Amino acid sequence: MFVRKLLSVALVLVLMALPLSAGAYSQGQSWAAEMERQKAIQQETNPNYTEELVAAEKAAREAFEAKRLQDAALNTRKVEISADATIQAAPWGVLLVGDVMHINNKKFFNAYALYYSHSGTYNGNNTVYDSNSDGVRLRPLSSWQQGQPVALGYTRNRSYSEVSAALNWAKNKYGTDGRTPYNWNFLNKSTDSALYCSQLVWKIHQHMGVNVDSNDWRYVAFLTALYGPVGTTFAYAAVAPDEVFLSDQIIYYYAD
């Protein structure tokens, strides 16, 4: 078992070292395949796998519920949802520039997601600044209004002007037309040459001196129970949308 764990960690280090290139998408596929392989190994070798996973998932879901209750008590953004809303019943009308957004986009790679698999930043004028498989771009808000679970929040202890300035800094640095490609090397969150969705949100906040990578121990425990050592490494090295959601540096005024 110890040898297998060492091999898993070694593989993680190899994947971290892979350069971003034309084969970057294949690297993402390799990650997904490896995580599923590690899951199968855990199921085969750990007789308590199911019980441990159920317990870890329960604790993680309790963390999400606690976060929702905490933010409900702290929120100062007045939220009203029209009773006759024809778009997904979320308070889109109260979005302000710089607000943090999450959805669960089941069409995209989301082996790391318990609740949310995609993140972005509201840009105003019904547009969202995010990174997807075609790179860092401005996209229509309507692309987020497809009925998926959604969370909307604002950065704690930062003014509107500070958040807007950080967003503008990111747009100037990374562009809005796909010139910065998607980062399939999820563990390399420090790079500026390619960005995945929650990494972009993290970078914007880093520019403000705010770290939104929570590394919440219950999320780490969930991925560890699910995938073993690879899950642990992923949780700590990457910055997943769920980890941003669990950050105490963002207050969510809406989350379903």
pLDDT digits (tens, 9 = 90+) for 199-215: 999 999 999 999 999 99
pLDDT at 81 over 70: no
* Angstrom distance (rounded) from CA 60 to CA 212: 18
pLDDT of residue 21: 43
For the segment 179-207, the average pLDDT, to the nearest whole number, is: 96
For residues 120 and 249, the answer to whether their CB atoms sit within 8 Å is no
Q: pTM of this prediction? A: 0.88
pLDDT band at 29 (very low <50, low <70, confident <90, very high): confident
For the segment 125-151, the average pLDDT, to the nearest whole number, is: 94
pLDDT band at 245 (very low <50, low <70, confident <90, very high): very high
3-state secondary structure the chain: CHHHHHHHHHHHHHHHHCCCCCCHHHHHHHHHHHHHHHHHHHHHHCCCHHHHHHHHHHHHHHHHHHHHHHHHHHCCCCCCCCCCCCCCCCCHHHCCCCCEEEECCCCCCCCCCCCCCEEEEEEECCEEEEEECCEEEEEEHHHHCCCCCEEEEEECCCCHHHHHHHHHHHHHHHCCECCCCCCCCCCCCCCCCCCCHHHHHHHHHHHCCCCCCCCCHHHHHHHHHHHCHHHHHHHHHCCCHHHHHCCCCEEEEEEC
pLDDT band at 35 (very low <50, low <70, confident <90, very high): confident
142-175 tens-digit pLDDT: 999 988 889 999 999 999 999 999 999 999 999 9
Range name among 83-92, 130-139, 188-197 with the lowest pLDDT average: 83-92
For residues 180 and 20, the answer to whether their CB atoms sit within 8 Å is no
For residues 155 and 98, the answer to whether their CB atoms sit within 8 Å is yes
For the segment 121-138, the average pLDDT, to the nearest whole number, is: 97
Mean of the per-residue pLDDT values of the chain: 88
Q: Can you say whether residue 136 is alpha, beta or left, with left for phi > 0 and alpha for psi between -120 and 50 degrees? A: beta
For the segment 124-147, the average pLDDT, to the nearest whole number, is: 95
* Angstrom distance (rounded) from CA 4 to CA 9: 9
Q: Give residue for tokens 């997807």.
A: 132
pLDDT at 1 over 60: no
> To the nearest 10°, the Cα dihedral for 106, 108, 113, 119?
-100
**Any idea where the domains of the chain sit in the sequence?**
2-15+23-80+90-255
The CATH superfamily of 2-15+23-80+90-255 is endopeptidase domain like (from Nostoc punctiforme) (3.90.1720.10)
